[in-house]
Amino acid sequence: MAILDPHDYGLSDEERELAGMVRAFADERVAPQAYEADRTKTLPLDIVAEMGEMGLFGLPFPEDVGGQGGDYTALGLAIEALARVDQSIAITLEAGVSLGAMPVYRFGSDRQRKALLPDLLAGRALAGFGLTEPEAGSDAGATRTTARLEGGEWVIDGAKQFITNSGTAITRFVTVTAVTGHSGARKEISTIIVPSGTPGFTVGPAYDKVGWHASDTHPLSFSGARVPAENLLGERGRGFANFLSILDEGRIAIAALATGAAEGCLEAALDYAGSRIVFAEPLGSRQSIQFLLARMQQRVHLSRLAWLHAVRLRDAGRPFATAAALAKLTAGEAAMDNARDATQIFGGNGFMNEYPVARHYRDAKILEIGEGTTEVQLLLIARALGLTSLGSGARPAR
């Protein structure tokens, strides 16, 4: 029983080499520590440092800012390879690039880019993006965090939740969305860089999460936190719009992560079905198990095709938002379904956290929630079909 060659998807020689290198790193360095990191809920910073040395955090950035000169396809291949064995490490890379460094590269001033990007792209520092609040996320109009200019400084008050990479020992800053004014009844939302250790900026205790235990995630609070006026990231009033453009790319990266998780479940289930003896025969000799594994392979294959299609559109400069939504929807559900089926194949062992399928089962659920829920993806796809909610006035997605 063999899985289809994961590299036989129209990849270039350079892309195949990258995928193989990261897969080997995942198997040799990440997988052996995954259970202990999950059990202790600790992000292994030595692994993060090694990823930085490999250039993974700089993959989609040009060389003139310290990157590797690659594209989002390269980033997706690396994320997929890591997620096979440890979703927490994969999301640390994904968030470090998409939510930490990319907003600075895309919207930052020359001064901000020169000051912040070198360490971010080398994996020496991490950064978080503070969008979600207790009562706001996709609904920008519900944002309550505020920032006002006073004496050449932004004074920030409010709270954020579920912020990845926000409380590690190497977290350099978080970028937060805040209401900086009003245009009639409409809120003006901007993004502001808040360095770690800023007085009035508090990182709350890490969440006790269902999964992604080794990923760093915290609530944040701001009480009169002051930062220089030049810490505004991008144009004032464009904060949420800028984030949405980042979010489309992030959905592709999450789809790649989910594809890796689905494949990791398949690989583990294949190995177990071949070695587990039941009534003097390998478990995999039973047709019911074979059909489960065939379905799992189908999901991996379709998920990989979906995210690769979306990322090729993105890298070619073509509209890709709908393809990203399709990929995220397809791969997120595939990861959850494969985790469920793999756990069933493992039986009682699948309920033990020392086995990777148990961790994937806990980890995979967030892939149907984060970076836009399944329902949000369905809404975007429906809009692309020209459908709108009654009275919404929504326009088709690009």
Catalytic residues: 371
Where do the H-state alpha helices sit in the chain? 13-25, 31-40, 45-53, 72-83, 87-95, 102-107, 110-121, 239-275, 287-315, 321-346, 356-364, 374-384
Residues 126 and 173: their CA atoms lie apart, in Å, by 8
Single-letter residue type at 236: R
Neighbours of 163 (CB within 10 A): 25
SS (HEC) of 363-391 = HHHHHHCCCCCHHHHHHHHHHHCCCCCCC
Single-letter residue type at 117: L
Q: Using only C-alpha atoms, what is the Rg of the chain?
A: 21
Alpha-carbon distances, residue 71 vs 59, 61, 371 (angstroms): 7, 7, 20
Q: Are 26 and 6 in contact (CB under 8 A)?
A: no
Residues 87 and 363: their CA atoms lie apart, in Å, by 7
Alpha-carbon distances, residue 106 vs 18, 189, 231, 243, 315 (angstroms): 25, 17, 15, 10, 15
Q: Are 219 and 131 in contact (CB under 8 A)?
A: no
- Within the chain, what is the greatest distance between any pair of CA atoms? 79
Alpha-carbon distances, residue 284 vs 106, 287, 298, 320 (angstroms): 49, 8, 17, 40
Sole residue written with tokens 């071949």: 274
